[in-house]
Amino acid sequence: MVNLQLDWEQASVLGLVLLAGQAMASRSLRSSAAAPYLQESAIVAGLYALWQLAASVSLLGTSGAFARGRWIERVQRSAHLPSERSLQHLIADQSLIAQLCNLYYAAMHFGVLGVFLLWLFVRHRDRYAEVRTALVLLTAACLLIQLIPVAPPRLFPDLGFVDVAAKYGQSVYNLSGITVDELGAMPSVHVGWALLVAWAVLRFGTGRHRWWILLHPVVTVFVVAATGNHFWLDGIAAGLLLVPSVMAARLFTGADHRDAGRTGIGHGDERSRDLVKADHPCD
């Protein structure tokens, strides 16, 4: 499978192009409306480039990665967590399902996040900075932990795990050797981002259909485990990191103060109730 992810150099070039486009658009009355979108896209591309660059670095190279992976597998067995092998047995020999899972792992990780950020910027721009900050903090926290390499389940065939993507020729990794970036299994950024998207849609969206977003983290957890790309504990760790990331983002962006003002805390007039209604339009 073609790796759908840009490397840090490609993302850097994209960010510069978008930034140049933003500068040109801001000078033109016809295209000035596009300037904020180009600027924000440039920022996201820049942050993505930093993430990809950091992901290629490890404190210990590949040293100890397999020992840590085996340790996680033992901890999970001691905690009586279900084995990821049980999910692999459901899909490994089902060609269509297995390939769909591989595609979801490779493409929807970024695809859903991109669509979500666009929706948030267009429909709830006053909340965008809070969510983007939470995204940056969560990703940074994951990267700090990933500096210590941990091998994913798919690299342990002796324990009964299967590399489902490699089996169907859909691996996004270099099959000629183990690279540092594929040893950043703990914690799972896939799961962390999916949980963040679901949290934000449920919090800031108002339509009844917003609850369908819960399928994304559920499917993501299933896919990363069934394809052998993550242990359960990788996803649990990402979920635990999300909580302080969201709390810190609200503090940094003044979201708590803004919410208090909009809900009229300490004020009992009619204007406060109108502000509450205005803050929750129908999507």
DSSP class per residue in 142-165: HHHHHTS-B--GGG-GGGT---HH
The number of beta carbons lying within 10 Å of the beta carbon of residue 132 is 19
Q: Give the pLDDT means over successive 10-residue stretches in the chain (283 positions).
A: 61 78 73 76 77 64 84 95 91 93 90 91 91 92 88 94 92 63 86 96 90 96 95 96 95 70 43 42 49
Say which DSSP state 184 is in. B
Please tell me the predicted confidence (pLDDT) of residue 197.
Answer: 96
Query: What does the buried/exposed string (b/e) look like for 111-127 if buried means 16 or more CB atoms within 10 Å of the residue's CB?
Result: ebbeebbebbbeebeeb
Question: Quick one: pLDDT at residue 258?
Answer: 62
Given this model, what pLDDT does residue 274 score?
Answer: 44
